Structure 1
Amino acid sequence: MNTTPASPSRADRPGGTPVRIGVLAPLSPPGWAEAGRHLLAGMELAVGEVNDADGIAGRPLELVVRDTAADPHRAAAAMDELAGLGVAAVAGEYHSVVARAAAARADALGLPFLCSSAVLDALTEGPTDWVARLPPAQSHGWRIYGDFLLGAGHRRVAVATQPSVYWASGTAVLRDHLAPHGGTVTAFDMSALTVAELCDALVAHRATALLLLVGHPEPAGPIVRAVRADRRLATVLIGAPAGQPELPGWAASLGDDGAAVPFLRYLPEQLTPLGARVRTALGERLADAPSFVAFEGHDTIAVLAEALRSHGTDRADIARSWAKVEVEGTRGPIRFTRTPGIGVWQWVWAPVQVVDRDPAAPERFRVLHTG
Structure 2
Amino acid sequence: MVNMPPSPPGAEHTAGSSVRLGALVPLSRPGWTEAGRHLLAGLDLAVREVNDAGGIAGRPLELLVRDTAADPERAAAAMDELAGLGVAAVVGEYHSFVARAAAARAGALGVPFLCSSAVLDGLTAEPTEWVARLAPAQSHGWRIYADFLLGAGRRRIALATQPSVYWASGTRVLRDQLAARGGTVVEFDTTALTPEALCDALVDHGATALLLLVGHPEPAVPLVRAVRGDRRLAEILIGAPAGQPEFAEWATALGEDGAGIPFLRYLPERLGPLGERVGRELLGQLGEAPSFVAFEGWDSIAVLAALLRSQGADRAAIAGSWPCVAVEGTRGPIRFGRVPGISVWQWAWAPVQVVDRDPARLDRFRVLHAG
User: Under a length normalisation based on structure 2, what TM-score does the superposition of the two structures give?
Assistant: 0.98
The answer for the alignment partner of 2:181 in structure 1 is 181
The answer for the alignment partner of 2:356 in structure 1 is 356
Indicate the percent of aligned positions where both proteins have the same amino acid: 75
Shift of 1:272: 1.7
Instruction: Give the conservation status (yes or no) of the 8 Å contact 2:11–2:62.
Output: no
The answer for the alignment partner of 2:126 in structure 1 is 126
Shift of 1:181: 1.2
Whether 1:287 aligns to 2:287 is yes
| Partners of 1:18 and 1:86 in 2: CA distance | 10
Mark the CA change 1:101 to 1:284 in structure 2 (over 3 Å): closer, same or farther. Answer: same
**Tell me, what secondary structure is at the counterpart of 2:192?**
coil
Shift of 1:282: 0.1
| Partners of 1:68 and 1:15 in 2: CA distance | 23
Instruction: Give the conservation status (yes or no) of the 8 Å contact 2:10–2:51.
Output: no
Whether 1:92 aligns to 2:92 is yes
**Tell me, what secondary structure is at the counterpart of 2:336?**
strand
**Tell me, what secondary structure is at the counterpart of 1:337?**
coil
The answer for the alignment partner of 1:36 in structure 2 is 36
Give the 5 Å matches for 1:51-130.
51-130=51-130
Give the 5 Å matches for 1:228-307.
228-307=228-307
The answer for the alignment partner of 1:316 in structure 2 is 316
Amino acid at match of 1:97: F
| Partners of 1:29 and 1:128 in 2: CA distance | 30
The answer for the alignment partner of 2:368 in structure 1 is 368
Amino acid at match of 1:322: W
Instruction: Give the conservation status (yes or no) of the 8 Å contact 2:11–2:60.
Output: no
The answer for the alignment partner of 1:158 in structure 2 is 158
Amino acid at match of 1:160: A
Instruction: Give the conservation status (yes or no) of the 8 Å contact 2:146–2:177.
Output: yes
| Partners of 1:61 and 1:189 in 2: CA distance | 46
Amino acid at match of 2:52: D
Shift of 1:36: 0.2
1:233-260 per-residue CA deviation (whole Å, 9 max, x = no partner) reads 0000000000000011100111000000
| Partners of 2:212 and 2:36 in 1: CA distance | 20
| Partners of 1:80 and 1:159 in 2: CA distance | 37
| Partners of 1:21 and 1:156 in 2: CA distance | 47
| Partners of 2:261 and 2:14 in 1: CA distance | 46
The answer for the alignment partner of 2:10 in structure 1 is 9
The answer for the alignment partner of 1:338 in structure 2 is 338
Whether 1:197 aligns to 2:197 is yes
1:328-366 per-residue CA deviation (whole Å, 9 max, x = no partner) reads 000000000011110000000000000000000010000
The answer for the alignment partner of 2:325 in structure 1 is 325
| Partners of 2:339 and 2:155 in 1: CA distance | 30
The number of aligned residues is: 370
**Tell me, what secondary structure is at the counterpart of 2:65?**
strand
Amino acid at match of 2:10: S
**Tell me, what secondary structure is at the counterpart of 1:145?**
helix
| Partners of 1:274 and 1:329 in 2: CA distance | 8
Shift of 1:5: 3.6
**Tell me, what secondary structure is at the counterpart of 1:94?**
coil
**Tell me, what secondary structure is at the counterpart of 1:181?**
coil
In structure 2, stretches of 5+ residues that fail to align are: none
Amino acid at match of 1:108: A
Mark the CA change 1:14 to 1:58 in structure 2 (over 3 Å): closer, same or farther. Answer: farther
Mark the CA change 1:72 to 1:10 in structure 2 (over 3 Å): closer, same or farther. Answer: closer
User: Under a length normalisation based on structure 1, what TM-score does the superposition of the two structures give?
Assistant: 0.98
Shift of 1:10: 7.1
Amino acid at match of 2:186: T
In structure 1, stretches of 5+ residues that fail to align are: none
**Tell me, what secondary structure is at the counterpart of 2:21?**
strand
Shift of 1:15: 10
What is the alpha-carbon root mean square deviation over aligned residues?
1.3
1:296-337 per-residue CA deviation (whole Å, 9 max, x = no partner) reads 000000000000001110000010110101100000000000
Amino acid at match of 2:288: D
Amino acid at match of 1:340: P
